[in-house]
Amino acid sequence: MQLNRIATFIINTFEEEGLDKYYIFDKKNLFLTHDSVYETLLWANNLDPENTEVLAQKMGCCNNDLANTINFLRKYC
């Protein structure tokens, strides 16, 4: 099984931040259980503001667009 695109962006962010390899391993395993990128985007709501900004940049959007997308998913999914 392979990580979805959003999960890959998040993992790359964690690795760039130098987070603990066991924490990253745990999150990889969690993301592998996600059924869709939407589930991973919903999880991204748990990121701190700095990592949210980095994720938005990796996704090619602004932080507000990412926040609005996550809020929409939380409300309707």
pLDDT digits (tens, 9 = 90+) for 6-55: 999 999 999 999 999 999 999 999 999 999 999 999 999 999 999 999 99
Buried-exposed string 3-28: b where 16+ CB fall within 10 A, e elsewhere? bbebbebbbebbeeeeeeeeebeebe
Residue identified by tokens 């409300």 is 75
Domain boundaries along the sequence of the chain: 5-76
> Taking the model in full, what pTM does it have?
0.91
**CA 32 to the chain's CA centroid:** 12
Model confidence band, residue 1 (pLDDT cutoffs 50, 70, 90):
confident
pLDDT of residue 77: 81
pLDDT cut 70: percent of the chain above it = 100
